[in-house]
Amino acid sequence: MTEAAAGWRRCSACKQPIPFESVYWTCNVSTCNRSRTALFFCSVSCWEVHLPGANHREAWAVEQRAPTRERAAADAAAAAQPRRRIARPAAPAPTAAPARTAAAGSTPREILIVASRLKDYIRAASGMSTSDRVLDPLSDLVREACDRAIENARRADRRTVLERDFG
């Protein structure tokens, strides 16, 4: 098949060529438009063929116009150029971490609470909503309780924190 007969791309459903400078349709869902997926349809009815297997919650066909032959050739030439990659140093191999103490500044300061579970619990228990700002102070309370439990386990000469250490 010649380049002129082949057109710009082929329809993802019926495999018919989509001519240069003609109207075609794409799916509005981003996963259908990624460079690896790149779904193109010659008609709305061909676009509808992909819906049953796509499991989109809400989708519609977006009308587009195919590029000119010259623009398509320029895009293909640009894609053929090797891309420069930024070399990043490899991550260091994990080593055995030293035992952390409960001293301030030696432990990571990140959220310790699963936000969705907390919000679900509060909504079920009270019907109220929960602000995202609750997570930091609640994580601080959890850290304080953990620090007390760690000290209780040390006093008992154990290297494992047990549920009774929180009591």
One DSSP character per residue, 123-134 reads: HHHHS----GGG
For the whole model, what pTM was predicted?
0.45
| Residue-wise pLDDT tens digits, 34-67 | 878 888 999 999 988 888 888 888 888 899 999 9
**What pLDDT is stored for residue 105 in this prediction?**
57
**What pLDDT is stored for residue 99 in this prediction?**
46
Say how far residue 78 (Cα) sits from the centre of its chain. 28
CA distance 28 to 30: 6
CA 161, 103, 109 angle in degrees (round to 5)?
A: 85
**What pLDDT is stored for residue 93 in this prediction?**
57
**What pLDDT is stored for residue 106 in this prediction?**
65
Please give the backbone phi and psi of residue 9, each rounded to the nearest 5 degrees, phi first: -140, 175
Give the residues of the chain that fall short of pLDDT 70. Answer: 1-5, 84-107
Question: What is the Cα Rg of the chain in Å?
Answer: 29
**What pLDDT is stored for residue 91 in this prediction?**
63
Task: Decide: helix, strand or coil at residue 27.
Answer: strand
